[in-house]
Amino acid sequence: YPLSYLGAGSAETVKVMVEAMRHAYVDRNSALGDPDFVDNPVEKLLDKNYAKEIREKIDPFRAGVSQELMPKGFGESQETTHYSIVDNDGNAVAVTYTLNGAFG
């Protein structure tokens, strides 16, 4: 996609970038891990033909559905912890910490 023609910071540019990032996050979550334990497909991820395949899947006029991108059998992580704390002065903090299965 020629992002320079869409305009820096335009809604169209942001839309295409978000769609590309969704695909990148799927690759990160399903294909990457500690190289001592996982064979990371670095060559595939850097391959221009692979990038072309992803680009062809992106519809610049329709938001994609992340769940449709996830490989079969790759569900939501079960390694999530959340806690909220409020002190006597009313100050509050909420923390959510999640590990991807391959990184736990």
Tens-digit pLDDT profile for residues 16-69: 889 999 899 888 877 788 888 888 899 999 999 999 999 999 888 888 887 777
Distance CA 59, CA 2 (A): 14
For residue 85, pLDDT over 50 is answered with yes
- The CATH number that domain 3-75 falls under is 1.10.246.130
- Spacing of C-alpha 73 from chain mean position: 17
Cβ-contact 79, 33 below 8 angstroms: no
Catalytic residue among 80, 81, 96, 98: 80
In terms of C-beta density within 10 A (0-12 exposed, 13-18 middle, 19 or more buried), how is residue 19 classed? buried
Does the pTM of the predicted model rise above 0.85? no
96 part of the active site: no
pLDDT at 103: 46
